[in-house]
């Protein structure tokens, strides 16, 4: 793996380095805010409605066709704004190479080949019959990110394929989509990139500021989930995960109501008639 400062016009189309915010190890489920919050006042309801997030809205951006001289000027301005070695470099043929950072925002587990030393009897959600290859599923760590060294000719689809290959994910790339994320007026906007769009061109035109533009890998939501696209081990694993989440939610709700009941009883015991 090359150092970012040593990249040149002979650099391959794909080169990846660990992002500074990548988590170490795997987790079984994402940390999230509680779905409900308990209130203990007589003037409000005891359970608040689920917290709503800011709705993502598509951002329409026309493709910017730049001349070679304009690209050279933008590359110069881009490199002058960064304080790291993640520079962009011009090639003799008019193309250019540089780095993009992709953040993972996956809510479903991904499938990878099982460990070589995995026990045959181990319950890893792996199918052992029917001639299918064994695999296991897990959640990627929250807020995992990757820096990719790509070319101005690299498409969004090729970025997805390269990311999955780096993580040895065996899922169909069609299950995922690359999104452009931007922040304006305290509002977050997302735009799904077409497969043929060039992410490095967007990065160059927007500059290095991550708030102006960043890239996010998410599930490719095209409506209802096509469960037939998943293998039997994946479906069984999803059912186990749903059961664990349901049991945890039930436990939390029971505890909150028990706490509310206890506080009410304490308030009643300490109050006087009238």
What CA–CA distance (Å, rounded) separates 274 from 43? 18
As a dihedral over the C-alpha atoms of residue 14, residue 15, residue 18, residue 19, rounded to 10 degrees, the angle is -60
What CA–CA distance (Å, rounded) separates 272 from 274? 6
**pLDDT for res 64:** 61
**pLDDT for res 2:** 42
CA-closest candidate to residue 204, choices 18, 65, 103:
65
27-72 pLDDT, tens digit each? 333 333 333 333 333 333 333 444 334 445 544 444 567 889 999 9
3-class state of residue 260 by DSSP? helix
Domain boundaries, given as residue ranges, for the chain:
4-270
pTM (2 decimals)? 0.57
148-182 pLDDT, tens digit each? 999 999 999 999 999 999 988 888 898 899 999 99
Q: Measured over all CA atoms, what is the biggest interatomic distance in the chain, rounded to whole angstroms?
A: 89
For residue 122, is pLDDT > 50?
no
Over residues 212-232, mean pLDDT: 80
Dihedral over Cα of 232, 227, 104, 244: its sign: negative
CA-closest candidate to residue 166, choices 21, 269, 22, 60:
22
Q: Assign residue 66 a region: left if phi > 0, alpha if psi is -120 to 50, beta otherwise? A: beta
What is the DSSP pairing of strand 96-104 with strand 214-219? parallel
- Find the range with the poorest average confidence among 18-22, 106-110, 200-204: 18-22
**Which of 3-22 are b and which e, b meaning 16 or more Cβ less than 10 Å from the residue's Cβ?**
ebeebeeebeebbbbebeeb
What CA–CA distance (Å, rounded) separates 193 from 195? 6
CATH number for the segment(s) 4-270? 3.10.20.90
């Amino acid at each position: 793996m090359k150092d970012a400062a040593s990249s040149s016009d002979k650099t391959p189309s794909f080169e990846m380095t660990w992002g500074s915010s990548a988590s170490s190890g795997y987790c079984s489920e994402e940390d999230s805010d509680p779905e409900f919050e308990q209130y203990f006042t007589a003037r409000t309801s005891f359970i608040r409605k689920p917290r709503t997030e800011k709705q993502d809205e598509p951002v329409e951006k026309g493709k910017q066709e730049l001349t070679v001289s304009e690209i050279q000027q933008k590359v110069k301005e881009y490199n002058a704004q960064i304080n790291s070695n993640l520079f962009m470099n011009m090639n003799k043929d008019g193309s250019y190479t540089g780095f993009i950072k992709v953040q993972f925002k996956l809510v479903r587990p991904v499938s990878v080949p099982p460990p070589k030393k995995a026990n045959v009897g181990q319950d890893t959600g792996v199918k052992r019959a029917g001639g299918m290859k064994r695999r296991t599923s897990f959640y990627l760590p929250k807020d995992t990110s990757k820096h990719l060294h790509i070319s101005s000719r690299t498409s969004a689809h090729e970025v997805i394929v390269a990311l999955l290959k780096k993580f040895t994910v065996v899922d169909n790339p069609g299950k995922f989509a690359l999104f452009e994320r931007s922040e304006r007026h305290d509002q977050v906007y997302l735009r799904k990139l077409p497969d043929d769009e060039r992410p490095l061109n967007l990065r160059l035109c927007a500059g290095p500021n991550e708030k102006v533009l960043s890239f996010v890998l998410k599930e490719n939501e095209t409506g209802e989930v096509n469960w037939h696209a998943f293998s039997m081990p994946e479906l069984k694993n999803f059912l186990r995960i749903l059961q664990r989440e349901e049991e945890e939610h039930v436990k939390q709700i029971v505890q909150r109501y028990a706490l509310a009941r206890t506080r009410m009883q304490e308030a009643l015991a300490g109050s006087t008639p009238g």
